[in-house]
């Protein structure tokens, strides 16, 4: 199950993580985000214990969205050691996202 990440928890959950972190920036009203949601949940299960997988609702957590220049959703950022190491804008397949996350394990 993907974690719900907020402006308040972002530092602790994402930037201070000792594992790679995949963050899905999404919104309830976004059709493509709803398509990507089940894929992100599957990846969360597949990478349990190896990586952190979370979601940021851009409507409720605008600060972190502004900080990372999120203009289009869905956007997936992969962090390692507190730095963005990869980015996917739009809907991508589970295989593509898994490959990108695996590259940073």
Q: What would the pLDDT profile of 47-75 be if each residue is shown by its tens digit?
A: 999 999 999 999 999 999 999 999 999 99
In whole angstroms, what is the distance from residue 75 CA to residue 88 CA?
A: 6
Give me the pLDDT at residue 57, please.
98
Catalytic residues: 30, 33
Distance CA 43, CA 22 (A): 9
Residue 90 DSSP class: S
Mean pLDDT of all residues belonging to the chain: 98
Q: pLDDT digits over 4-44, tens only?
A: 999 999 999 999 999 999 999 999 999 999 999 999 999 99
N residues, the chain: 105
Q: Residue 7: is it exposed, middle or buried by C-beta count within 10 angstroms (0-12/13-18/19+)?
A: middle
User: Residue 25 phi/psi, 5° resolution?
Assistant: -90, 125
């Amino acid at each position: 199950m993907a974690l719900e990440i907020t402006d308040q928890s972002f530092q602790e959950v994402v930037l201070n993580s000792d594992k790679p972190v995949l963050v899905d920036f999404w919104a309830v009203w976004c059709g493509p985000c709803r398509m990507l949601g089940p894929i992100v949940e599957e990846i969360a299960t597949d990478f349990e214990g190896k990586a952190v997988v979370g979601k940021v609702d851009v409507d409720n957590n605008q600060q972190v969205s502004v900080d990372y220049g999120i203009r289009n959703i869905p956007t997936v950022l992969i962090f390692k050691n507190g730095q963005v190491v990869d980015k996917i804008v739009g809907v991508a397949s589970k295989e593509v996202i898994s490959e990108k996350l695996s590259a940073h394990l």
